[in-house]
Amino acid sequence: MANFLGSYWWIFLLVILIVAYKLFLRFFGIVIIPEDSIGIVNKKFVLLGKHRTLPDGAIIALNGEAGYQADTLAPGLHFWLWPWQYEVSKQKFINIKEGNIGIVEARDGHPLKDGRVLAKKVNCDSFQSARDFLLNGGERGPQITIIPPGTYRINTSLFTVVEEAALEIDDNMVGIVTTREGLPLQTGEIAGREIPGHNSFQDGQIFLDNGGFKGLQEQVILAGRYYINPRFATVEIKEMTTVPIANVGVVIAYVGDQGVDVTGESFKHGNLVSRGQKGVWVKPLDPGKYPINPYTHKVEIVPTANVVLNWATGKTESHRLDEKLSTIKVRSSDGFTFSLDVSQIIHIPSTDAPKVIARFGSVANLVTQVLEPTIGNYFR
Protein backbone atom coordinates (compact mmCIF):
# COMPACT_ATOMS: atom_id res chain seq x y z
CA MET A 1 0.00 0.00 0.00
CA ALA A 2 2.83 2.36 0.88
CA ASN A 3 4.53 1.53 -2.41
CA PHE A 4 1.27 2.24 -4.26
CA LEU A 5 0.86 5.62 -2.60
CA GLY A 6 4.51 6.42 -3.18
CA SER A 7 4.22 5.65 -6.86
CA TYR A 8 0.95 7.44 -7.56
CA TRP A 9 0.99 10.33 -5.13
CA TRP A 10 1.03 12.81 -7.95
CA ILE A 11 -2.31 11.51 -9.22
CA PHE A 12 -3.95 12.16 -5.85
CA LEU A 13 -2.39 15.61 -5.76
CA LEU A 14 -3.71 16.38 -9.23
CA VAL A 15 -7.23 15.30 -8.26
CA ILE A 16 -7.13 17.46 -5.15
CA LEU A 17 -5.92 20.46 -7.16
CA ILE A 18 -8.65 19.98 -9.75
CA VAL A 19 -11.30 19.82 -7.04
CA ALA A 20 -9.90 22.66 -4.94
CA TYR A 21 -8.53 25.05 -7.55
CA LYS A 22 -11.55 27.34 -7.35
CA LEU A 23 -11.19 27.55 -3.58
CA PHE A 24 -7.49 28.20 -4.04
CA LEU A 25 -8.11 30.98 -6.56
CA ARG A 26 -10.87 32.44 -4.43
CA PHE A 27 -8.54 32.60 -1.43
CA PHE A 28 -6.21 34.81 -3.46
CA GLY A 29 -9.03 37.14 -4.57
CA ILE A 30 -9.55 35.61 -8.02
CA VAL A 31 -13.10 34.99 -9.30
CA ILE A 32 -14.00 33.17 -12.51
CA ILE A 33 -17.40 34.05 -14.02
CA PRO A 34 -18.71 31.53 -16.59
CA GLU A 35 -19.58 32.71 -20.09
CA ASP A 36 -23.34 32.37 -19.48
CA SER A 37 -23.41 34.27 -16.19
CA ILE A 38 -22.65 37.53 -14.43
CA GLY A 39 -21.25 38.07 -10.97
CA ILE A 40 -23.30 39.95 -8.38
CA VAL A 41 -21.04 41.52 -5.78
CA ASN A 42 -21.92 42.08 -2.13
CA LYS A 43 -19.29 44.20 -0.37
CA LYS A 44 -19.25 43.21 3.28
CA PHE A 45 -17.47 46.22 4.77
CA VAL A 46 -15.52 49.40 4.02
CA LEU A 47 -12.90 50.56 6.53
CA LEU A 48 -11.77 53.87 5.07
CA GLY A 49 -13.21 56.73 3.01
CA LYS A 50 -16.35 58.82 3.08
CA HIS A 51 -18.45 56.25 1.22
CA ARG A 52 -18.56 53.55 3.85
CA THR A 53 -22.30 53.09 4.32
CA LEU A 54 -25.29 53.39 2.02
CA PRO A 55 -27.51 56.49 2.17
CA ASP A 56 -30.73 56.08 4.12
CA GLY A 57 -33.26 54.02 2.17
CA ALA A 58 -30.78 52.88 -0.48
CA ILE A 59 -30.19 49.21 -1.25
CA ILE A 60 -27.69 49.35 -4.11
CA ALA A 61 -24.21 50.90 -3.77
CA LEU A 62 -23.08 53.34 -6.46
CA ASN A 63 -19.86 54.60 -4.85
CA GLY A 64 -18.29 51.48 -3.42
CA GLU A 65 -20.21 51.51 -0.14
CA ALA A 66 -20.81 48.31 1.76
CA GLY A 67 -23.73 46.38 0.28
CA TYR A 68 -24.81 45.07 -3.10
CA GLN A 69 -22.93 46.82 -5.88
CA ALA A 70 -24.60 48.37 -8.90
CA ASP A 71 -21.92 47.09 -11.26
CA THR A 72 -21.79 43.38 -12.02
CA LEU A 73 -18.89 41.18 -13.10
CA ALA A 74 -18.81 40.19 -16.77
CA PRO A 75 -17.83 36.65 -17.84
CA GLY A 76 -14.10 36.10 -17.38
CA LEU A 77 -11.37 36.39 -14.75
CA HIS A 78 -11.53 39.03 -12.00
CA PHE A 79 -8.88 39.90 -9.39
CA TRP A 80 -8.59 41.53 -5.96
CA LEU A 81 -11.97 40.32 -4.74
CA TRP A 82 -10.82 39.07 -1.34
CA PRO A 83 -13.26 36.55 0.14
CA TRP A 84 -13.28 38.19 3.58
CA GLN A 85 -14.50 41.48 2.00
CA TYR A 86 -16.47 40.44 -1.09
CA GLU A 87 -19.18 37.86 -1.55
CA VAL A 88 -19.72 37.05 -5.24
CA SER A 89 -22.77 35.10 -6.43
CA LYS A 90 -23.12 33.90 -9.99
CA GLN A 91 -26.36 34.75 -11.80
CA LYS A 92 -27.30 33.11 -15.10
CA PHE A 93 -28.20 35.44 -17.95
CA ILE A 94 -31.94 36.11 -18.05
CA ASN A 95 -33.42 34.61 -21.20
CA ILE A 96 -36.84 35.78 -22.37
CA LYS A 97 -38.17 33.22 -24.82
CA GLU A 98 -39.78 34.09 -28.16
CA GLY A 99 -43.44 34.91 -27.66
CA ASN A 100 -42.88 36.11 -24.08
CA ILE A 101 -42.05 39.36 -22.32
CA GLY A 102 -40.22 40.22 -19.12
CA ILE A 103 -42.10 42.19 -16.44
CA VAL A 104 -39.62 44.15 -14.31
CA GLU A 105 -39.77 45.45 -10.75
CA ALA A 106 -37.04 47.53 -9.10
CA ARG A 107 -36.11 47.30 -5.41
CA ASP A 108 -34.30 50.64 -5.31
CA GLY A 109 -34.70 54.11 -6.78
CA HIS A 110 -36.82 57.19 -6.22
CA PRO A 111 -40.31 56.65 -4.78
CA LEU A 112 -43.22 56.68 -7.21
CA LYS A 113 -44.99 59.99 -7.66
CA ASP A 114 -48.41 60.40 -6.10
CA GLY A 115 -51.11 58.76 -8.17
CA ARG A 116 -48.70 56.61 -10.19
CA VAL A 117 -48.75 52.81 -10.10
CA LEU A 118 -45.88 52.22 -12.54
CA ALA A 119 -42.38 53.66 -12.60
CA LYS A 120 -41.37 55.86 -15.53
CA LYS A 121 -39.08 54.72 -18.33
CA VAL A 122 -35.38 55.57 -18.00
CA ASN A 123 -32.41 54.88 -20.26
CA CYS A 124 -30.61 51.88 -18.74
CA ASP A 125 -29.93 49.47 -21.63
CA SER A 126 -33.03 47.34 -21.00
CA PHE A 127 -32.27 47.25 -17.25
CA GLN A 128 -28.79 45.84 -17.92
CA SER A 129 -27.15 48.90 -16.32
CA ALA A 130 -28.23 49.27 -12.72
CA ARG A 131 -25.96 52.30 -12.43
CA ASP A 132 -27.64 54.16 -15.30
CA PHE A 133 -31.06 53.24 -13.94
CA LEU A 134 -30.33 54.83 -10.56
CA LEU A 135 -28.37 57.83 -11.86
CA ASN A 136 -31.01 58.65 -14.49
CA GLY A 137 -33.81 58.90 -11.94
CA GLY A 138 -35.21 55.38 -12.00
CA GLU A 139 -38.09 54.71 -9.62
CA ARG A 140 -38.62 51.71 -7.38
CA GLY A 141 -41.58 49.44 -7.94
CA PRO A 142 -43.16 47.88 -11.03
CA GLN A 143 -41.78 49.34 -14.24
CA ILE A 144 -43.82 50.59 -17.19
CA THR A 145 -41.14 49.29 -19.56
CA ILE A 146 -40.95 45.58 -20.40
CA ILE A 147 -38.09 43.63 -21.92
CA PRO A 148 -38.77 41.80 -25.20
CA PRO A 149 -37.47 38.33 -26.15
CA GLY A 150 -33.69 38.02 -25.88
CA THR A 151 -30.84 37.40 -23.46
CA TYR A 152 -30.00 39.98 -20.81
CA ARG A 153 -27.32 40.60 -18.16
CA ILE A 154 -29.52 41.97 -15.36
CA ASN A 155 -28.45 42.62 -11.79
CA THR A 156 -31.03 40.66 -9.80
CA SER A 157 -30.04 42.34 -6.55
CA LEU A 158 -31.84 45.41 -7.94
CA PHE A 159 -34.35 43.98 -10.43
CA THR A 160 -36.75 41.07 -10.39
CA VAL A 161 -37.97 39.83 -13.76
CA VAL A 162 -41.12 37.74 -14.28
CA GLU A 163 -41.59 36.11 -17.67
CA GLU A 164 -45.12 36.14 -19.10
CA ALA A 165 -46.69 35.32 -22.45
CA ALA A 166 -47.08 38.14 -24.96
CA LEU A 167 -50.58 39.11 -26.09
CA GLU A 168 -51.87 37.13 -29.08
CA ILE A 169 -54.99 38.27 -30.96
CA ASP A 170 -56.37 35.84 -33.53
CA ASP A 171 -57.80 36.70 -36.93
CA ASN A 172 -61.30 38.22 -36.96
CA MET A 173 -60.87 39.36 -33.36
CA VAL A 174 -60.11 42.75 -31.80
CA GLY A 175 -58.57 43.76 -28.51
CA ILE A 176 -60.42 46.19 -26.23
CA VAL A 177 -57.88 48.08 -24.13
CA THR A 178 -58.18 49.45 -20.60
CA THR A 179 -55.16 51.30 -19.20
CA ARG A 180 -54.22 51.61 -15.54
CA GLU A 181 -52.16 54.77 -15.95
CA GLY A 182 -52.92 58.17 -17.42
CA LEU A 183 -54.92 61.33 -16.96
CA PRO A 184 -58.44 61.04 -15.53
CA LEU A 185 -61.20 60.98 -18.13
CA GLN A 186 -62.90 64.28 -18.84
CA THR A 187 -66.40 64.84 -17.54
CA GLY A 188 -68.98 63.21 -19.79
CA GLU A 189 -66.49 60.90 -21.50
CA ILE A 190 -66.58 57.10 -21.17
CA ALA A 191 -63.30 56.30 -22.95
CA GLY A 192 -59.94 57.87 -23.64
CA ARG A 193 -59.41 59.36 -27.07
CA GLU A 194 -56.92 57.85 -29.48
CA ILE A 195 -53.33 58.88 -28.71
CA PRO A 196 -50.63 58.77 -31.41
CA GLY A 197 -47.16 57.28 -31.27
CA HIS A 198 -47.35 54.49 -28.67
CA ASN A 199 -47.27 51.58 -31.16
CA SER A 200 -50.56 49.98 -30.14
CA PHE A 201 -49.98 50.50 -26.39
CA GLN A 202 -46.61 48.71 -26.55
CA ASP A 203 -44.81 51.87 -25.37
CA GLY A 204 -46.65 52.95 -22.26
CA GLN A 205 -44.30 55.87 -21.57
CA ILE A 206 -45.06 57.53 -24.92
CA PHE A 207 -48.78 56.97 -24.27
CA LEU A 208 -48.44 58.90 -21.00
CA ASP A 209 -46.12 61.57 -22.41
CA ASN A 210 -48.62 62.29 -25.20
CA GLY A 211 -51.51 62.81 -22.80
CA GLY A 212 -53.14 59.38 -22.66
CA PHE A 213 -56.13 58.82 -20.39
CA LYS A 214 -56.66 56.15 -17.76
CA GLY A 215 -59.44 53.64 -18.31
CA LEU A 216 -61.27 52.31 -21.35
CA GLN A 217 -59.74 53.35 -24.68
CA GLU A 218 -61.49 54.16 -27.95
CA GLN A 219 -58.67 52.62 -29.96
CA VAL A 220 -58.75 48.86 -30.51
CA ILE A 221 -55.87 46.60 -31.53
CA LEU A 222 -56.11 44.15 -34.41
CA ALA A 223 -54.93 40.58 -34.95
CA GLY A 224 -51.26 39.96 -34.19
CA ARG A 225 -48.71 39.61 -31.41
CA TYR A 226 -48.17 42.52 -29.03
CA TYR A 227 -45.60 43.16 -26.31
CA ILE A 228 -47.94 45.05 -23.97
CA ASN A 229 -47.15 45.36 -20.28
CA PRO A 230 -50.13 43.72 -18.52
CA ARG A 231 -49.43 45.90 -15.47
CA PHE A 232 -50.03 48.93 -17.70
CA ALA A 233 -52.98 47.80 -19.82
CA THR A 234 -55.44 44.92 -19.84
CA VAL A 235 -56.86 43.68 -23.13
CA GLU A 236 -60.24 42.01 -23.58
CA ILE A 237 -60.57 40.07 -26.83
CA LYS A 238 -63.85 40.33 -28.74
CA GLU A 239 -65.12 39.19 -32.13
CA MET A 240 -65.12 41.74 -34.94
CA THR A 241 -68.49 43.26 -35.81
CA THR A 242 -70.05 41.51 -38.81
CA VAL A 243 -72.55 43.20 -41.14
CA PRO A 244 -74.18 40.41 -43.21
CA ILE A 245 -74.95 40.57 -46.93
CA ALA A 246 -78.24 42.39 -47.72
CA ASN A 247 -77.85 44.46 -44.56
CA VAL A 248 -76.15 47.63 -43.45
CA GLY A 249 -74.80 48.57 -40.05
CA VAL A 250 -75.92 51.84 -38.51
CA VAL A 251 -73.36 53.09 -36.01
CA ILE A 252 -74.38 54.76 -32.76
CA ALA A 253 -71.27 56.40 -31.29
CA TYR A 254 -71.01 57.17 -27.59
CA VAL A 255 -67.63 58.90 -28.01
CA GLY A 256 -66.16 61.57 -30.26
CA ASP A 257 -66.70 65.25 -30.86
CA GLN A 258 -70.13 66.65 -30.13
CA GLY A 259 -72.35 65.68 -33.05
CA VAL A 260 -73.69 68.28 -35.49
CA ASP A 261 -76.90 67.34 -37.32
CA VAL A 262 -76.40 67.03 -41.10
CA THR A 263 -80.00 66.28 -42.14
CA GLY A 264 -81.27 69.86 -42.24
CA GLU A 265 -85.00 70.59 -42.26
CA SER A 266 -85.93 67.48 -44.25
CA PHE A 267 -85.74 65.13 -41.25
CA LYS A 268 -87.12 66.25 -37.90
CA HIS A 269 -87.29 62.97 -35.97
CA GLY A 270 -83.68 62.80 -34.78
CA ASN A 271 -80.15 63.91 -35.53
CA LEU A 272 -77.68 62.27 -37.88
CA VAL A 273 -73.99 63.16 -37.59
CA SER A 274 -70.80 62.65 -39.56
CA ARG A 275 -68.46 59.73 -38.90
CA GLY A 276 -66.24 60.27 -35.87
CA GLN A 277 -68.83 62.36 -34.02
CA LYS A 278 -71.04 61.38 -31.11
CA GLY A 279 -74.48 60.20 -32.20
CA VAL A 280 -76.02 58.22 -35.08
CA TRP A 281 -73.73 58.27 -38.11
CA VAL A 282 -75.36 59.39 -41.34
CA LYS A 283 -73.39 56.92 -43.44
CA PRO A 284 -73.95 53.26 -42.54
CA LEU A 285 -71.45 50.41 -42.77
CA ASP A 286 -71.65 48.22 -45.84
CA PRO A 287 -71.57 44.40 -45.53
CA GLY A 288 -68.25 43.17 -44.12
CA LYS A 289 -66.26 42.85 -40.89
CA TYR A 290 -65.24 45.84 -38.81
CA PRO A 291 -62.95 46.33 -35.77
CA ILE A 292 -65.55 48.10 -33.64
CA ASN A 293 -65.20 48.75 -29.92
CA PRO A 294 -68.56 47.48 -28.59
CA TYR A 295 -68.22 49.60 -25.44
CA THR A 296 -67.90 52.87 -27.37
CA HIS A 297 -69.92 52.16 -30.53
CA LYS A 298 -73.12 50.21 -31.03
CA VAL A 299 -73.96 48.81 -34.48
CA GLU A 300 -77.62 48.25 -35.33
CA ILE A 301 -78.09 45.81 -38.21
CA VAL A 302 -80.75 46.98 -40.69
CA PRO A 303 -81.92 44.67 -43.51
CA THR A 304 -81.92 46.30 -46.95
CA ALA A 305 -83.56 43.40 -48.80
CA ASN A 306 -87.34 42.95 -48.80
CA VAL A 307 -88.53 41.80 -45.37
CA VAL A 308 -91.70 39.73 -44.99
CA LEU A 309 -93.62 40.23 -41.75
CA ASN A 310 -96.30 37.71 -40.79
CA TRP A 311 -99.24 38.48 -38.54
CA ALA A 312 -99.79 34.76 -38.00
CA THR A 313 -99.54 32.91 -34.70
CA GLY A 314 -96.74 30.32 -34.77
CA LYS A 315 -95.23 31.57 -38.05
CA THR A 316 -91.96 33.50 -37.90
CA GLU A 317 -89.39 34.37 -40.56
CA SER A 318 -85.64 33.83 -40.01
CA HIS A 319 -85.09 37.52 -39.24
CA ARG A 320 -87.45 37.06 -36.22
CA LEU A 321 -88.73 40.62 -36.48
CA ASP A 322 -92.27 39.21 -36.49
CA GLU A 323 -91.88 36.75 -33.60
CA LYS A 324 -94.14 38.89 -31.38
CA LEU A 325 -96.81 39.37 -34.07
CA SER A 326 -99.92 37.19 -33.93
CA THR A 327 -103.00 36.41 -35.96
CA ILE A 328 -105.37 39.40 -36.16
CA LYS A 329 -108.84 39.01 -34.67
CA VAL A 330 -111.40 40.69 -36.96
CA ARG A 331 -115.06 41.42 -36.22
CA SER A 332 -117.40 41.57 -39.23
CA SER A 333 -120.16 44.12 -39.68
CA ASP A 334 -122.76 41.56 -38.58
CA GLY A 335 -120.91 40.79 -35.35
CA PHE A 336 -119.02 37.61 -36.21
CA THR A 337 -115.38 37.26 -35.08
CA PHE A 338 -112.82 35.41 -37.18
CA SER A 339 -109.03 35.12 -37.41
CA LEU A 340 -107.04 36.69 -40.23
CA ASP A 341 -103.42 35.93 -41.15
CA VAL A 342 -101.70 38.87 -42.83
CA SER A 343 -98.30 39.23 -44.52
CA GLN A 344 -96.65 42.57 -45.18
CA ILE A 345 -93.47 43.26 -47.17
CA ILE A 346 -91.31 46.22 -46.15
CA HIS A 347 -88.14 47.58 -47.69
CA ILE A 348 -85.65 49.98 -46.09
CA PRO A 349 -83.17 51.59 -48.51
CA SER A 350 -79.61 51.71 -47.18
CA THR A 351 -79.63 55.51 -47.30
CA ASP A 352 -82.72 55.59 -45.06
CA ALA A 353 -81.44 53.04 -42.53
CA PRO A 354 -79.79 55.69 -40.29
CA LYS A 355 -83.07 57.63 -40.22
CA VAL A 356 -84.94 54.54 -39.01
CA ILE A 357 -82.44 54.06 -36.19
CA ALA A 358 -82.38 57.76 -35.28
CA ARG A 359 -86.18 57.79 -35.02
CA PHE A 360 -87.00 54.35 -33.57
CA GLY A 361 -83.74 52.99 -32.16
CA SER A 362 -84.03 49.64 -33.96
CA VAL A 363 -85.95 47.88 -36.73
CA ALA A 364 -87.74 45.83 -34.06
CA ASN A 365 -89.06 49.06 -32.54
CA LEU A 366 -90.25 50.16 -36.00
CA VAL A 367 -92.30 46.97 -36.22
CA THR A 368 -93.80 47.14 -32.73
CA GLN A 369 -94.35 50.91 -32.54
CA VAL A 370 -95.57 51.64 -36.08
CA LEU A 371 -96.33 48.64 -38.28
CA GLU A 372 -98.06 46.42 -35.72
CA PRO A 373 -100.65 49.02 -34.59
CA THR A 374 -101.12 50.33 -38.14
CA ILE A 375 -101.89 46.90 -39.63
CA GLY A 376 -104.01 45.92 -36.64
CA ASN A 377 -106.13 49.08 -36.79
CA TYR A 378 -106.58 48.77 -40.55
CA PHE A 379 -108.43 45.48 -40.21
CA ARG A 380 -110.34 46.41 -37.11
**315-366 pLDDT tens trace:** 877 888 888 887 777 776 676 777 778 888 899 999 999 999 998 999 988 8
pLDDT at 369: 86
DSSP state letter for 282: S
Q: Is 309 helix (H, G, I), strand (E, B) or coil?
A: strand
**26-68 pLDDT tens trace:** 666 789 999 999 999 999 998 776 777 888 889 999 998 999 9
Contact (CB, 8 A) for 177 and 220: yes
Task: Flag whether pLDDT at 19 surpasses 70.
Answer: no
Considering only CA atoms, which of 197, 205, 235, 231 is closest in space to residue 217? 235
pLDDT at 380: 62
pLDDT at 25: 62
Torsion, CA 186, CA 191, CA 197, CA 198, rounded to 10: 120
pLDDT at 370: 85
- Residue 229: pLDDT band by 50, 70, 90 thresholds? very high
pLDDT at 115: 87
Contact (CB, 8 A) for 114 and 128: no
21 vs 217, more confident: 217
Domain ranges of the chain: 25-91, 167-239, 241-380
Pick from 84-93, 249-258, 367-376: least confident? 367-376
pLDDT at 10: 66
pLDDT at 7: 62
319 vs 209, more confident: 209
**271-315 pLDDT tens trace:** 899 999 999 999 999 999 999 999 999 999 999 999 888 888 878
pLDDT mean over 200-224 = 97
Report the alpha-carbon distance of residue 191 to residue 278 in Å, rounded: 12
pTM: 0.86
